[in-house]
Amino acid sequence: MSETIDADLVRHIGKLARIELSEQQVEMFGRQMSDILVYFHKLRELETEDIEPMAHAVQSSNVFAADCPQPSLGPDQALANAPQRDGNFFKVPKVIGDS
């Protein structure tokens, strides 16, 4: 089965992800996504009727640390590595609005 992802679909996905793609990247990602679809079609051929669903491939237990109150960082320490700040806030470029 040779499913292909056309260039228009790759460009559309790039637009949704808000990334600009060169023509070389469009071709490369199209081939890679087509290969991924081939793998999914192979997985459909597997017999899974008697396999019990599971959340993880291996057993795991709670690995979270105890939820104990700790002193928090002050604004100056929290913003020490911020590229830009506005008072006690991170200053970031506008991302909502006119594109």
For the residues of 81-98, what is the DSSP string, one character each?
T-SSEETTEE-----SS-
Q: For 59-80, how does the pLDDT look when each residue is reduced to its tens digit (9 = 90+)?
A: 878 778 888 999 999 999 999 9
CB-based contacts of 6, cutoff 8 Å, min separation 6? 30
Q: For 17-40, how does the pLDDT look when each residue is reduced to its tens digit (9 = 90+)?
A: 999 999 999 999 999 999 999 999
pTM: 0.47
Domains of the chain are: 7-44 (1.10.20)
